[in-house]
Every structure is written in structure tokens, then in C-alpha cells.
Structure 1
């Protein structure tokens, strides 16, 4: 009975998503997330077909760097950069020459996107000035798309970033609306949504994803996928919780590999045309085979190198894997 139900779910997804390009609904995503492990391989294969049909074989490569690290006033329970927790990350700023060098190293990997990140509730005047100077210095040295992730924005700040030529703005909703109060108490899900709305109106691309494995239910994971589909972001970075010592989520068990891969495939089936990016936690959750299985299961973008406070795979390892899988790196002019 379970086998026939799995076949039915996948058949419906094939007709609806692969053939018609219509993403799965919240209830359908939940059905996918509840599939037995025996259905995982055909599920990943279908998600890969969807990715190839609606996005193509190219993979977008991105590097990230923290301009301002640690000392954040918010209480995001997964984050060791919060100044409210007994975690090892302490406040530090990156100077402009180091920021330019990080962009150069990112570009050498073939990456087309470089994201400047700051651990803040929202940018101060000092931070906005530093970002403007950094972007100008990077543009003097190389040709790469520049993204930013600076927390919640005012309307004036959105306009400033757009005027700087910021290509894409990242602001993660992190989790389902119904679960958000269990993750953050110092601001609301709706405040994040409003920043994303203004970013889109200003003409910047919207990058919005979250973290899976923070104690949310499978139903809330499906809710999150549906809420992202409603938002319609250009990119969804999919992180898996890497529990950080000293944070409220520091003792949570990492998500199992099968659940993580089911989530990758389900998000692809909910968002057939979206850039779905492997981000933090994949090394811990999926192990050495994670990059291969994800890239053959719906993912079409990666962050190369290290993350903000955790280590990633060597950039060369991901680039070599893309070559082995015959997946070309998306050219810069294809992202403009």
C-alpha cells in the first residue's frame, strides 16, 4: 500500500511539475516529505529532471564574506554571532582591502556572485558607508555580481543599495511563519517579509531561504516551502542546522541525511524555476556524498569555500565535482 501511494505521489508530481511547470502545493509537499526511504532515489531523480527542464544544467557558484562578524543584538537561536549567547564568535570588522581580496579569491573559482554579509539587526550609517566603499573598490578591480545580506532594511536603505548596483539581496525567512517565534523573539517573521517586499519593488533580485532541522515539524517544513513559493524569490539558499556551541540550538541533533535529501527534492518540486542553493550544514548533514546527491536531486547553485562561522568543503572540491557531473558554471553575463 505504501509503495503504491509513493508511486501515485511521484506520478502526480511528474505531471504537475515536470510536464506543466506548476509547483507542488503545501499539502503535496508534505506528501513528498512523508515518502518512505525506498522512494528516495526515484524522488531525487524526478527533482533532477525538473531542475534540468526548468532551470537547465548550469550551476551558479557564489562566495560569501562577513564584513561585520559577531555582536549581533538579535537572538536567532541557531546563530553563534548573537551577542546574547555564550558562543565563541566575537565582534570584528573586515577592512576594504581584505574585502576586495576575498572577492578576487571568489572570482578565481569561477563564481559569478559575491555576497557581503553583516551580523546586524539592520545596517547603521557606518555599515552602509563601509558597504558602499567596499562595492566601489571591488568594482575597480574585477567584474562580479555583488549581493548583500545586511539584515532588515528601511525604504531609504533599500534605495541606497539599489543605487550602489547591488544585484541581489539576501534576507532569509529562516523557517515557517508558524515556527518562527521558536527561533527568534527579538523581531518578527513579518518584519523580514516586509524587507523582502521592498527589495523586490526596488528591482533587486530576492534571495530568501532558511535552515532546516531546527526542531520544526515536517508539516512546518512543507508550510515553509509553500510560503517561499508565495514569495517567489529568485534564489533559495537551503541550509541544514549545524548546531553551534553556546546557542539555544547547540544541543539539537543534526538532521538525518534521508530527511535532508527529501527536503532538497521537495523544495525543488515546490519551486521548479528557482535557483536552489546548497548552503551551510550540508557537509555535516550529508557527508561526502551530499554535494553529488543534492546536485543530482534538484540543487543548481552552491556556496563555495567556508561559510560565515563554519567550515565548508574546499572550493576546488565543488568545482571538480561540477566538472565530473558535466554541469557548467553559469557565466557572469547569464546572471545580469
Structure 2
């Protein structure tokens, strides 16, 4: 049991070199009694290679529902019988949401749209929205608009979007079981263009999509190969009316093992708590994850599900003596 942890201390903690896929699998297979030692190691790695600060972010949906894709976990797909219907947000509402996000102490505000990729209308709304936000509030603007063309990547850079989120969702071998209307490789192509543009790459996924433990290790290794600036880690919150609506949620201890494993795979990456942690981990587990490798959080609600109150997360960070990253530190 201790051999893999000793190797991780020698290489990840000492040198900042992440574990490979086989070693990640060893971590994911550790017994429950090894969990405290594993979480402590992941926390030590996070502190050494990322520092004590926690990046706080809020997200808002510019265009909700009516998506033509069939991502089996997503209630925003227009192909399923989930209750989410298509809604467009106006610019004043977008600006107000950015102000409210900044008021929590967040440094990052991500504009999300449920689309395969942006059309001309959406790009025009993004341009107007980003401009209005930058004029009204001092906050970084990120975007998540699906798959992009090179021209759209260049447009977003010109607008001043500094980080782009496009999740791989799961590993390459499991992806066809989760999405059939586009390929894993199409997502990878967008991420390569984003990286080459100079925008920061935000790429993660969802655990609990029916993947095996081996595929969970595969996913962590593939993300490490991509080397994103940030990895949002979601846990499936099954949505009524979707093909994965009856999928069981990830067990809390398995979620904590995964958090630590992803940290040991990517010691220098921002690892962000995202959707589903509330039902998978609850308050106590959320605390343990922050002491087990997590160094960023999305505060407030998500796109179609409720999150913890922003004040609860901020109070927890204060209690743990984890400073919130200042805006100037993100430039």
C-alpha cells in the first residue's frame, strides 16, 4: 500500500512530476484506511506546487437549453425530455450576474452557452456582453461555448476572453458511451486551437458517468497530457429525463480518492470543485477535498443545478485559513 505513496512523495511532491496512468490506477485502488495518508499527500503537493491560495469563480448561462447534442448527462439537450427549456440571457442580466459574482470575492466569471458551437448571433452577444462586463466590473472573463473554429478562437482572444472552458467530460475510450453526436477528437481539436491562441485552457469532466476505475485513470492521464491551466472536477448529479438520470452517484470516499489521484497526476494545475460535490461529498466531504488537493471552487449555483451558498464556501475557506486569490494575481 505504501509503495505507491512513497513513489508519489519521491517524484510528485519532491520534483513536481505527475504520476502516469498505471500509477494513477494504483492510487484509485487504495483501500479506505489509506485515504487519510493519501489526502494529506495530495494536500502537501497542492501547497508546494500551487500555493495556499484558492481561486473562486462564478458561472452564468448566456444561452440555456435547446442544445442539439446528446450528451447523456445533460438536461440542456433538446433531444431529451428533461424540464430545461431554451432561454437567452440579456446583457444587463449578464452584467448584474458578473457584479454579484465579483461581490463574493471571485476573480473569475465564466459565460456558458448550451450549443454545439457558437453561431454569429452568439458571438455578437458574447462581444457585447464581454465589453459591458469589462466596463462595469473588475473581473476576469472566461467562456464556454462548445467547439470552435480558428476564426472564433481569434475573435474570443480579440474580445479579451482570457480562459476557455471545453471539457473532455470523460476518457477517450468511454466517450462514445456518453456522447454520439460528436467525437472526443473534435473536442481535443478545439482545445489545441485554444492553447495555441494564448488563452488559458480549462478542461475537465464528470466522474460517475458509468466509467470503470481503469477509465477514470485513463481520463486523468489524458488530461495530464493536455496540461490544462485548470481542471474543473464534476461529479454526476443525475438529471431527470436524461439517459443517465438513474445513474447512482459517486461514493464520497471514491470521490476523495479521485480528487487526490487527479492532484497527483497534475501537481501544478488548478483543480476546481465544480458540480455535484454537494450531493456526493456534502459539507464534511467538501472540507476534506479542500484539504486533499482542491485549490479552486465554483461558488453559488451551476448551470441547471443548485450549488452551496457562496457564503458557505467563503466561510469554509476562511475557517481553513486558505486565502482567496486576488484578482491582480490572475493577470
From 19, 25, 30, the equivalent of 2:20 is 25
Residue of structure 1 equivalent to 2:71: 76
Moved more, 313-322 or 285-294: 285-294
Residue of structure 2 equivalent to 1:327: 322
CA drift of 1:157 comes to 0.2
CA drift of 1:290 comes to 2.2
Residue of structure 2 equivalent to 1:112: 107
Residue of structure 2 equivalent to 1:211: 206
Structure 2 residue matching 1:233: 3-state secondary structure: coil
Structure 2 residue matching 1:50: 3-state secondary structure: helix
From 41, 53, 63, the equivalent of 2:58 is 63
CA distances 1:193-252 after superposition (whole Å, capped 9, x unpaired): 000000011110000000001100000000000000000000000000000000000000
Mapped pair 1:222 → 2:217: yes
Residue of structure 2 equivalent to 1:289: 284
**Any stretches of 5+ residues in structure 1 without a counterpart?**
1-5
Structure 1 residue matching 2:281: 3-state secondary structure: helix
CA distance in structure 2 between the partners assigned to 1:188 and 1:27 by the alignment = 25
Residue of structure 2 equivalent to 1:298: 293
CA drift of 1:296 comes to 0.1
Equivalent residues in 2 for 1:253-264 (5 A)?
A: 253-264=248-259
* Count of residues paired in the alignment: 331
Residue of structure 2 equivalent to 1:315: 310
CA distances 1:248-278 after superposition (whole Å, capped 9, x unpaired): 0000000100100000000000000000000
CA distance in structure 2 between the partners assigned to 1:28 and 1:132 by the alignment = 44
Mapped pair 1:127 → 2:137: no
Equivalent residues in 2 for 1:156-171 (5 A)?
A: 156-171=151-166
Residue of structure 2 equivalent to 1:3: none
User: Which contiguous aligned blocks of 4+ residues in structure 1 show a shift greater than 6 angstroms?
Assistant: none
CA distance in structure 2 between the partners assigned to 1:108 and 1:285 by the alignment = 28
CA distances 1:178-207 after superposition (whole Å, capped 9, x unpaired): 000000000000000000000011110000
CA distance in structure 2 between the partners assigned to 1:115 and 1:287 by the alignment = 24
**Any stretches of 5+ residues in structure 2 without a counterpart?**
none
From 33, 37, 42, the equivalent of 2:37 is 42
CA distances 1:9-54 after superposition (whole Å, capped 9, x unpaired): 1111111100111100000000000000000010000000000000
CA drift of 1:62 comes to 0.1
From 196, 211, 230, the equivalent of 1:235 is 230
CA RMSD of aligned residues (A): 0.4
Structure 1 residue matching 2:10: 3-state secondary structure: helix
CA distance in structure 2 between the partners assigned to 1:267 and 1:139 by the alignment = 33
From 11, 24, 32, the equivalent of 1:16 is 11
CA distances 1:145-190 after superposition (whole Å, capped 9, x unpaired): 0000000000000000000010100000000000000000000000
CA distance in structure 2 between the partners assigned to 1:12 and 1:271 by the alignment = 15
CA distance in structure 1 between the partners assigned to 2:285 and 2:252 by the alignment = 8
Mapped pair 1:265 → 2:280: no
